[in-house]
Amino acid sequence: MEMLKVLRAQAGRRHHGHAGLYLVLLVLFLLAVVTARTTAFLWTALGGELLLLAFLPGKLLRQDILGALAAGVFCLLLILPALLFWGAGPVMLLPLKTFLCVTALNLLQQHFSWHELTAALRRFYLPAEVIFILDTTLRYLVLLGDQASLLLTSLKLRSVGHNPKKHKAMAGIMGIVMQRSQRLSLEMAEAMRCRCFTGEYPMLQGRQESVGILSYLLPAALFLIYAFLYIRLEGFL
């Protein structure tokens, strides 16, 4: 349901453009965070992310922070055996790195829709079949999420009193959703066959907002700043 809310919130967005440029910057940023050996660069990365988070509305800010904190806590639980047997060390950086990576991904998806990102991947010559699977998955998340929500509402309207065995009701809803998913997948495969689908998946251009030179200068400035900080703080200079 949370994923469904995110996808629905992205439906009314305009295309901002330059998703591919920011996607490249994100990959470089994640590589820098993952390969960092000291906390100095990680703190600078955290400061930049907090600055960008400050421009988000309160609801989105809380959602992104809680998601990143949950990922960091889960990573901390995974490394607890290492802490108990070998003590603190470089492994302690993993929760912070996880938090930074998840926060960066959340910031990107707050600014660009999933379809803009998949279109950007197409520009990097990713196979059309992979983009088709990603787009189809997103569409089916919305479609099957709507059907699951309707089934749950119908179950609530028909229920009288207290049901102590809710797992049976949820299992029934999941079974119905799975059956409908199989039926829809077969119908889509038949429709593709009838339309002589050959694997070509053209990239559609959405309506873009007017962008100025600032949209190019800002990513370039961010790249230069963090590249210098990484090289300087990691001891390469």
The pLDDT value given to residue 98: 93
Same domain, 177 and 152: yes
Domain coverage including residue 73 = 18-111+211-233
Same domain, 94 and 142: no
- Supply the DSSP string of 169-205, one letter for each residue: HHHHHHHHHHHHHHHHHHHHHHHHHHTT--S--PPPP
- Supply the DSSP string of 71-122, one letter for each residue: HHHHHHHHTHHHHHHH-SSGGGHHHHHHHHHHHHHHHHHHHS-HHHHHHHHH
68 occurs within a structural domain: yes
Residue partners of 211: CB distance under 8 A and separation at least 6? 16, 17, 18
Query: Can you read off the two tokens belonging to residue 166?
Result: 């809710």
29 occurs within a structural domain: yes
12 occurs within a structural domain: no
The pLDDT value given to residue 4: 61
pLDDT tens, N- to C-terminus, the chain (237 residues):
566 666 666 655 555 567 778 888 899 999 999 998 888 899 999 999 998 888 888 888 888 888 899 999 999 898 888 777 776 667 788 999 999 999 998 888 888 877 777 777 777 777 878 888 888 887 888 788 888 888 888 888 877 777 677 777 778 888 888 888 889 889 988 988 898 887 777 666 555 555 556 667 878 888 899 899 899 888 776
153 occurs within a structural domain: yes
The pLDDT value given to residue 52: 87
Crossing angle (nearest 10°) for helices 39-53 and 58-78: 150
The pLDDT value given to residue 213: 65
Residue partners of 68: CB distance under 8 A and separation at least 6? 98, 99, 102, 103, 106
Q: What is the largest CA-CA distance in the chain?
A: 71
117 occurs within a structural domain: no
220 occurs within a structural domain: yes
The pLDDT value given to residue 29: 92
The pLDDT value given to residue 124: 77
